[in-house]
């Protein structure tokens, strides 16, 4: 009796395992792909924000000024920003119900959108050079222009919040 119960339990476990494995191998639906693409691009923006946050804190005086960290974070932003056009070109999520602040006009005005990402790369590189000089006043003074490259895109292509 106990063997029969154990036998059915392991059969059930095996069935669940096979079922789960099959479910996982099924191709994702367009809805799932849209949700995943949205999460990925938001992750890039979170990383941009993480790196920019330290620089802004130095400018506000809430973090100690460190030229090397400012330069490093600017270089990271210059590396991350080219992923913005890549990710938005990879999947147009306009037709899907996703939790997003991305305005649909992004896909109508891709060139303009991409240009704003390119401007961010340029702003990050310019800022990195100034930070590399180690001049605190010059670096802090350059933060606003650098951050402007973020806001310049948000003003046109992101929902107001």
Binding site for ligand HEC (CB under 6 A): 38, 41-42, 45-46, 48-49, 52, 77, 84, 100-102, 113, 116-117, 120, 149-150, 153-154, 157-158
Considering the complex, state which of residue 18 and residue 141 has its C-beta at the smaller distance from ligand HEC. 141
109 closest CA partner among 88, 82, 80: 88
Q: Determine the length of the chain.
A: 161
158 closest CA partner among 48, 50, 30: 48
Tokens of 112: 């303009």
Considering the complex, state which of residue 65 and residue 96 has its C-beta at the smaller distance from ligand HEC. 96
Shortest distance, position 31 Cβ to ligand HEC, whole Å? 15
* C-alpha span between 113 and 157 (Å, rounded): 7
For residue 61, is it left (φ>0), alpha (ψ between -120 and 50) or beta? left
The structure tokens 């154990």 sit at 6
Considering the complex, state which of residue 140 and residue 153 has its C-beta at the smaller distance from ligand HEC. 153
Shortest distance, position 46 Cβ to ligand HEC, whole Å? 5
Shortest distance, position 49 Cβ to ligand HEC, whole Å? 4
Shortest distance, position 3 Cβ to ligand HEC, whole Å? 54
Considering the complex, state which of residue 132 and residue 158 has its C-beta at the smaller distance from ligand HEC. 158
Tokens of 65: 């000024």
């Amino acid at each position: 009796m106990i063997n029969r119960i154990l036998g059915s339990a392991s059969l059930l476990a095996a069935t669940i395992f096979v079922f789960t494995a099959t479910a996982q191998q099924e191709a994702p639906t367009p809805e799932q792909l849209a949700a995943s693409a949205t999460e990925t691009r938001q992750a890039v923006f979170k990383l941009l924000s993480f790196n920019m946050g330290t620089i802004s804190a130095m400018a506000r005086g809430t973090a100690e000024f460190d030229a090397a960290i400012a330069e490093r974070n600017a270089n990271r932003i210059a590396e991350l920003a080219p992923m913005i056009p890549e990710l938005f070109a990879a999947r147009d999520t306009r037709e899907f119900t996703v939790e997003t602040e991305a305005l649909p006009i992004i896909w109508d005005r891709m060139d303009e959108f991409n240009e704003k990402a390119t401007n961010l790369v340029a702003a990050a590189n310019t800022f990195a050079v100034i930070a590399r000089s180690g001049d605190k006043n010059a670096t802090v003074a350059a933060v606003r222009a650098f951050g402007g490259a973020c806001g310049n895109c948000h003003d046109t292509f992101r929902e107001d919040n």
